[in-house]
Structure 1
Amino acid sequence: MKTPSLTIALSAALLTTSLAAPAHAAASDAVCFTGGRTPTSGGYYKVNGNGCDGHSGTTVTIRFGTAAGDYACGWTFLWNSMLGADNCVLTSSGT
């Protein structure tokens, strides 16, 4: 029966492919040099950022300042290196 040898060959091919694929760390959609945050209702923050790079999405990183950290946001807008984001939750502190 050829089924066991086919299974072994497919497993080896899958292992080789997964080992060759580079590992990627999760990255924020937008990364800002500095920024601020204002508490809003429901335990959320309104976040603004300056010196930002990336794109509008749901994750934001503020590198320096009192608002430093990573945020998961319901809405973001990035334009000319300025960021505005609403319904954000601090997921990790930048301290």
Structure 2
Amino acid sequence: MRASSLAVALSAAALVVSASAVPARAAVSDAVCFNGQRTATGGGYYKVTAGGCDGHSGTTVTIRFGPAAGDYSCGWTFVWNSQLGAENCTLV
């Protein structure tokens, strides 16, 4: 194998390895909140309240900091004046 062919092959291999090392991006949440709280309501579900929220009412919520930090899938959410209320939520 010629040196130029070897260099091209190694470059292509490095590109494939580096591309596969990039983690998949999570789905974008309807509402993203700075901090929040969750209360267990039974059956693995939570009631979630949060503040410092951007976004809109929908079914997905991300809380960035605090004990309730995480991604949630909810049956119902409501965002108003950067405050969030959500019911029937599960951690994703």
Q: TM-score, normalised by structure 1?
A: 0.69
How do residues 1-95 of structure 1 correspond to structure 2 at under 5 angstroms?
26-91=27-92
What is the CA deviation profile of residues 34-92 of structure 1, one whole-angstrom value per residue up to 9, with x for unaligned ones? 0000000211000011000000000000000000000000000000000000000001x
For 1:52, give the aligned amino acid: C
In structure 2, what is the Cα distance between the partners aligned to 1:50 and 1:65? 11
**Residues in 2 aligned to 1:72 and 1:47: alpha-carbon distance in whole angstroms:** 11
Unpaired segments ≥5 residues, structure 1? 1-23
How many correspondences in the alignment? 68
What stretches of structure 2 of length at least 5 have no aligned partner? 1-24
- Distance, in Å, in 2 between the alignment partners of 1:57 and 1:29 is 6
Instruction: State the Cα RMSD in Å.
Output: 1.2
- Could you tell me the percent identity over the aligned residues? 76
Letter in 2 for 1:83: L
Hey, what's the Cα distance between the residues in 2 that align with 1:64 and 1:29? 17
Kindly report structure 1 stretches of 4+ aligned residues shifted beyond 4 Å: none
Summarize the Cα distance change of 1:52–1:39 in structure 2 as closer, same or farther, 3 Å threshold. same
* TM-score, structure 2 as length reference: 0.71
